[in-house]
Amino acid sequence: MNKNMGAKKPELSELSRVRDRITFLYLEHAKLNRQDSAIMVSDNRGTVFVPVAIVSVLLLGPGVDITHRAMELIGDAGMGAVWVGEQGVRQYAHGRSLNHSSRLLQAQARLVSNKRTRVAVARKMYQMRFPDDDVSELSMQELRGKEGSRVRGVYRMQSQKTRVRWSRREYNPDNFEAGTPINKALTAAHQALYGLSYSVIVALGASAGLGFVHTGHDLSFVYDFADLYKAEFSIPIAFQIAAKYGHDKDIGSKTRLAMRDAFANGKLLVRMVKDLKSILGVTETDISVDVINLWDDKMGLQKFGVQYHEFEEDDGA
């Protein structure tokens, strides 16, 4: 076999930064292979090439057939690969993070493991949604009530603005088509937001499962993080699409395209990267991708890659 086949593995310094990438690309019923440093996507309409270093995450829907070489390239380039259900309703698996540092993960684990710091981070996230109010003294119960009132108000406002009838949020994760047009649009919009949130979290090396408000689920932190942006992105866009397309059978696809455009125009990826680091209290200079150490309970961090010798106590001889 030709050892020089394909492009060489890129160095981390060569890869696009997470915040500079295109947000996401949803694919279904297509075959994915690799050609040099691009993913070759083929379906009954033809073939396109997707440069891996400029896309944040691939949402892989039903009917996707992907080769081992394509996944190898995706992993090398730090592109998130998230396997999802029909219309992106469920998320099943994801790829390795772009950032090889565990600094964010360590900070997240430390903050979520202490009751005081966990509440402080939760308040920080709620404060982002209520910039004009001081929530520093509110309990978690009070914060939940305040947030619930805000979200209900957002739904009412968008309903009045778009003249789309609204009663309540309901959907069947096993049957996307059973929902009303607005609920189908909301499902597609929220899932696009969850996908982008998920990709940013795992790309930067944090944990999707260590939530501060939500808990007990492997996507708890994804739900925490995505909730910061629903009122600005997924809810209004869902109502706009429902008002424009009504009972269009492709309402899910149209919603995802609108979300993708809104993400790009609103530079949401840049905001998400900045917000995530702020929430976890980690600065850009705190993160180094190539540092690995050995942990010692008495001596602190020790060098990795050194051949250590057995330690012998001095017997005074």
Residues at the binding site for Mn(2+) are: 147, 214, 227
What is the spatial distance between Cα 174 and Cα 161, in angstroms, rounded to a whole number? 30
With a CB cutoff of 8 Å and minimum separation 6, the contacts of 143 are 122, 123, 126, 135
What is the spatial distance between Cα 79 and Cα 39, in angstroms, rounded to a whole number? 11
- β-bridge partners, 38: 35, 51
How many CA atoms lie less than 13 Å away from 9 in the CB half-sphere?
A: 8
State whether the Cα torsion 292-295-296-297 is positive or negative: positive
What is the spatial distance between Cα 61 and Cα 89, in angstroms, rounded to a whole number? 9
DSSP secondary structure code for residue 303 in this structure = E
Torsion, Cα of 156, 160, 166, 171 (10° steps): -80
Q: Which residues are annotated as a binding site?
A: 147, 214, 227
DSSP string, 184-250: HHHHHHHHHHHHHHHHHHHHTT--SS--SSS-SSTTHHHHHHHTTTTTTTHHHHHHHHHHHHTT-TT
Closest CA to 181 of 261, 243, 253, 256: 243
